[in-house]
């Protein structure tokens, strides 16, 4: 294991945290989506960590990736054996220090972890929405988060960060509500999906759609398309790793046997790992949400925001100070895409720094403990906070 990939020994766990819920857009005041459809009521699941200071100037907004949720740090109970997905980064004394900052993370619109999505009840029919749920975009997700900020009385976000699809939300926030975002750290992300990224998402969606239990999205109350969703997760998981990560973790090692079976069974450890990841995923995620959210990520193209048709023009709307982070082994959103983003930011006159972090673990590197990343995030947010005082 690389020396950089170590658990951050500084800081403490947040301990027990609580999921909260905010409902808005009650009819007839539904939220108008980018598609033109109207949706309401809308519920967002969210969590907060730390204490909001008197002038509400210490807010850090964290945006989750594709299959993440609002549970970014801490534990729900003493019985939990797994903390939130970014527990190594958020907490007292950690990079995003909850002794200093008030941290917010919400589950995206279209999700399935407490926020309104295709598995939620359609108030007009009393049944789950399924594929009747309106199409949502990254912009819609951000619009819903803005409603949550308004509910909490927050007019300025000191800093916001997120990786992958979370980074897309960060970028969207910076141009959609520029006056609110003081600084931003988009990680392992892109201004728009490449054909490769769209292709992987489409194969994953087709795996779900081909499952006979999918039933055009109307599977609630019956058998779920678990096989299709499991395969979709396996496809996605391959893109999150790297050749080197797979070589180090699995190589060609066999799973619980001394020789090849010469049958179509699990022979290799990597096969067992992928099947395990797929089986775990179906226990917590909704297949329709996966379809909707991956399509929202595919539709994302920051350069087309408000018909700007130019990365330079679109970033001229932003007012934030940026730190863009990429990872050397990320082949899903490779470093050249971050460099393209940074170039456009600089030509727009923005204050931007860039760091390509050495990491062997692929796209998922932003989620793993990494001393270099920890120091970068801590230093950037602390510097912004000091400058803002």
In tens, the pLDDT along 39-64 reads 999 999 999 999 999 999 999 999 99
Q: Is the dihedral of CA 283, 193, 302, 167 positive or negative?
A: positive
Chain segment 251-308, per-residue pLDDT in tens? 898 888 788 888 888 889 999 999 999 999 999 999 999 999 999 999 999 999 998 8
Residue 256 resides in a domain? no
Q: Catalytic annotation on 164?
A: yes
Q: Which of 311, 323, 312, 294 is nearest to 193 (CA)?
A: 294
Pull the structure tokens for residue 132.
């009747």
Confidence at 361, pLDDT banded by 50, 70, 90: very high
Chain segment 292-320, per-residue pLDDT in tens? 999 999 999 999 999 888 999 999 999 99
Residue 258 resides in a domain? no
State residue 10's pLDDT score.
59
Query: Mean pLDDT, to the nearest integer, of 234-262?
Result: 90
Task: For residue 243, give every residue at least 6 positions away whose Cβ sits within 8 Å of its Cβ, in sequence order, or none.
Answer: none
Q: Is 59 helix (H, G, I), strand (E, B) or coil?
A: strand
Q: Is 60 helix (H, G, I), strand (E, B) or coil?
A: strand
State residue 6's pLDDT score.
38
Q: Is the dihedral of CA 193, 185, 46, 232 positive or negative?
A: positive
Residue 128 resides in a domain? yes
Query: Mean pLDDT, to the nearest integer, of 154-162?
Result: 98
Q: Which of 329, 332, 334 is nearest to 362 (CA)?
A: 329
Residue 197 resides in a domain? no
Q: Catalytic pick from 64, 182, 193, 363?
A: 363
Residue 225 resides in a domain? no
Q: What percent of the chain has pLDDT over 70?
A: 97
For residue 2, pLDDT over 70 is answered with no
Q: Which of 164, 162, 172, 169 is nearest to 188 (CA)?
A: 164
Query: Mean pLDDT, to the nearest integer, of 344-361?
Result: 97
Q: Catalytic annotation on 330?
A: yes
For residue 8, pLDDT over 90 is answered with no
What does the alpha-carbon distance between residue 292 and residue 196 come to, in Å, rounded to a whole number? Answer: 18
Residue 292 resides in a domain? no
State residue 73's pLDDT score.
98
| Domain that residue 93 falls in | 20-192+301-388
Residue 75 resides in a domain? yes
Cis-peptide into 341, omega within 30 deg: no
State residue 258's pLDDT score.
82
For residue 1, pLDDT over 70 is answered with no
Q: Catalytic annotation on 106?
A: no
Q: Catalytic pick from 4, 97, 286, 330?
A: 330
Q: What percent of the chain has pLDDT over 90?
A: 88
Mean pLDDT over each residue of the chain, to the nearest integer:
95
Domain of 381, CATH number, reads 3.40.50.1820
Query: Mean pLDDT, to the nearest integer, of 150-166?
Result: 98
Contact 62, 86 (CB under 8 A): yes
Number of domains in the chain: 1
Q: Which of 48, 60, 70 is nearest to 100 (CA)?
A: 60
Q: Catalytic pick from 164, 183, 230, 316?
A: 164
Query: Mean pLDDT, to the nearest integer, of 176-193?
Result: 98
Residue 200 resides in a domain? no
State residue 27's pLDDT score.
96
């Amino acid at each position: 294991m690389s020396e950089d990939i170590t658990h951050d020994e500084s800081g403490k766990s947040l301990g027990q945290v609580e999921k909260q819920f905010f409902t808005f857009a009650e009819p007839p005041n539904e939220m108008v989506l980018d598609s033109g459809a109207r949706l309401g009521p809308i519920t967002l699941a969210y969590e907060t960590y730390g204490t909001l200071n008197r002038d509400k100037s210490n807010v850090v907004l964290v945006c989750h990736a594709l299959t993440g949720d609002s549970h970014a740090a801490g534990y729900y109970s003493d019985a939990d054996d797994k903390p939130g997905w970014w527990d190594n980064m958020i907490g007292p004394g950690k990079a995003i220090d909850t002794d200093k900052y008030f941290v917010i993370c919400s589950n995206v619109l279209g999700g399935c972890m407490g926020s309104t999505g295709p598995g939620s009840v359609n108030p007009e029919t009393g049944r789950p929405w399924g594929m009747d749920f309106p199409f949502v975009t990254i912009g819609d997700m951000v619009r819903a988060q803005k409603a949550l900020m308004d509910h909490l009385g927050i007019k300025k976000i000191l800093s916001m960060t997120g990786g992958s699809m979370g980074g897309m939300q960060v970028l969207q926030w910076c141009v959609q509500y520029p006056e609110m975002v003081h600084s931003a750290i988009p990680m392992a992300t892109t201004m728009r999906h490449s054909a490769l990224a769209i292709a992987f998402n489409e194969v994953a969606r087709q795996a779900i759609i081909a499952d006979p239990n999918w039933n055009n999205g109307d599977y609630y109350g019956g058998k779920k398309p678990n096989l299709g969703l499991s395969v979709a997760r396996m496809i996605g998981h391959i893109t999150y790793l790297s050749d080197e990560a797979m070589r180090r973790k699995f190589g060609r090692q066999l799973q619980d046997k001394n020789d090849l079976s010469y049958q179509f069974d699990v022979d290799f450890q990597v096969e067992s790992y992928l099947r395990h990841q797929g089986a775990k995923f179906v226990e917590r995620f909704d297949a329709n949400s996966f379809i909707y959210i991956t399509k929202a990520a595919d539709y994302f193209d920051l350069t087309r925001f408000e018909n700007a048709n130019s990365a330079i023009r679109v970033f001229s709307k932003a007012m934030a100070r940026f730190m863009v982070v990429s990872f050397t082994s990320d082949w899903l959103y490779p470093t050249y895409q971050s460099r393209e983003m940074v170039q456009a930011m600089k030509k727009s006159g923005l204050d931007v720094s860039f760091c390509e972090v050495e990491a062997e673990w692929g796209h998922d590197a932003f989620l793993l403990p990494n001393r270099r990343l920890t120091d970068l995030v801590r230093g950037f947010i602390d510097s912004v906070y000091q400058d803002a005082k």
